[in-house]
Homo-oligomer: A and B are copies of this chain.
Amino acid sequence: MPRAGLDRAAVVGAGAALADEVGLTGLTMGLLADRLGVRTPSLYKHVAGQDDLIRGIAALALHETAEAVGGAVQGRAGSDALAAAARAFRAFVVEHPGRYAATIGQEPSGPEDPLAEAGERLLGAFTAVLRGYEIDGPAVNHALRMLRSLCHGFATLEAAHAFQWSTDIDQSFEWLVAFADRGLRAM
């Protein structure tokens, strides 16, 4: 029986891909093992269990989101930066709904947690966006939470097919981004 050459990153990566395909609730240890050409218990040599696997997927997703948003913001400022950041965030969630779903409800154990680190980086990207507006003091935190709620809410609702009527979703999103931009500039 030749070795499969797995490690934690390979297992978590395949788990993330599988979660995007079949949904986070459809992600089963047996299915993942099949996908990797291995028997189920072998996965436990690389991850401590399903919870640990999902935490790993969440950390990966947050890392990738921060990467995408951070990259989109590079070289832009003000309204452009806001629009680019929001679009990058939404695109990531819609293309990777399973991964992103793994991040919901995860609480980092400490400042060392890779989950916390990736979260900080994502936060930093949005903070950079806000520097293009004239906001100071505690309003920065409020505005960050507002942007996060808006992006998170829209993207998760879209991923869940929760927008029913026929009005174009892309248009709604652009409208929403412009709305936030106007509001932030008017402070």
Contacts and interface: CB of A to CB of B under 8 A. Distances in A.
Contacts of A141: 165, 167, 172
A153 B142 contact: no
A126 interface: no
Contacts of A46: none
Given A149-B153, A153-B156, 7 more contacts: A119-B164, A138-B171, A141-B165, A146-B179, A152-B156, A153-B154, A183-B186
Interface residues of A, number: 36
Interface in A151-187: 151-154, 156-157, 160-165, 167, 171-172, 175-176, 179-180, 182-183, 186
6 closest residue pairs by CB, A with B: A153-B153, A149-B153, A149-B154, A142-B175, A141-B167, A183-B183
Interface of A: 104-105, 107, 119, 138-139, 141-143, 145-146, 148-154, 156-157, 160-165, 167, 171-172, 175-176, 179-180, 182-183, 186
Contact of A142 (B105, B167, B180): B167
Contacts of A186: 182-183, 186
Interface centre among A142, A151, A153, A175 (most CB of B within 10 A): A153
A129 B162 CA distance: 20
A152 B148 contact: no
Contacts of A180: 183
Contacts of A145: 154, 157, 163, 167, 172, 176
